[in-house]
Amino acid sequence: MADRLVSNFKQLASEVNLQDRDFQIAIASIIFNPTFWNIAARTEYNTHLLTKLAFNKPKFGCYLLALTIFSLGLFRDYLYEKALKNQVSSVLLADPVFRYLGIASFLFGNVLVLSSMWKLGITGTYLGDYFGILMEDRVTSFPFNIDNNPMYNGSTLCFLGTGLYYGKPAGIFASLVVYLMYQVALKFEEPFTAKIYAKREAEREQKKKKSL
């Protein structure tokens, strides 16, 4: 059993054409997007550059970043689907069960992404806390009651679902890159976001003490 799994893994890996130009561009886009929005958000927090560009209105600055991130995401998805067309469809993924798994993965991923956006709103979804737009309370209802990072994990499932639907080993490889990039992004985002909210709480405590 173990030997068969290893053999199947090697076959799937061998069927990923890493030399394909479109696939390289798609992977570059996958790596670029979270890198860009983390740098942009940190720059905003430290310099208020986007707020200044938005006529000193933090919410408009956040909307500007949201539009940019959303547009880059659509372009990345286009590059991904374009790249998959050049890749081999594996006989190991030809069974209809993988097609159904792909559909299920894509649909559930979208449920996580869209419900997360609905609960957080634009500013909550697109790094509004770096603009000083903080949420009053932590969201704990669905989808956050089943997944701490539904946006990222949902997006990863959408990539994986597309790859499985078309039976493309390259899609599985790209999904792994997506997952790893989001994990790296979280290493930067979660501690910094916690720092922002801790600062707010400290400022509130100071105001309470002064008012006594």
Q: Is 102 annotated as a binding residue?
A: no
182-186 long-range contacts (CB < 8 A, ≥24 apart) are 182/34, 182/149, 182/152, 182/153, 182/155, 182/156, 184/34, 185/34, 185/35, 185/38, 185/152, 186/149, 186/152
- Quickly list DSSP for 77-112: HHHHHHHHHTSPPPGGG-SHHHHHHHHHHHHHHHHH
For residue 83, the one-letter residue type is A
Q: Is 44 annotated as a binding residue?
A: no
Q: Is 190 annotated as a binding residue?
A: yes
Give the integer Cα–Cα distance in Å for 74 and 81.
11
Q: Is 131 annotated as a binding residue?
A: no
Q: Is 192 annotated as a binding residue?
A: no
Binding-site members are 107-109, 189-190
The annotated binding site for S-adenosyl-L-methionine is made up of 107-109, 189-190
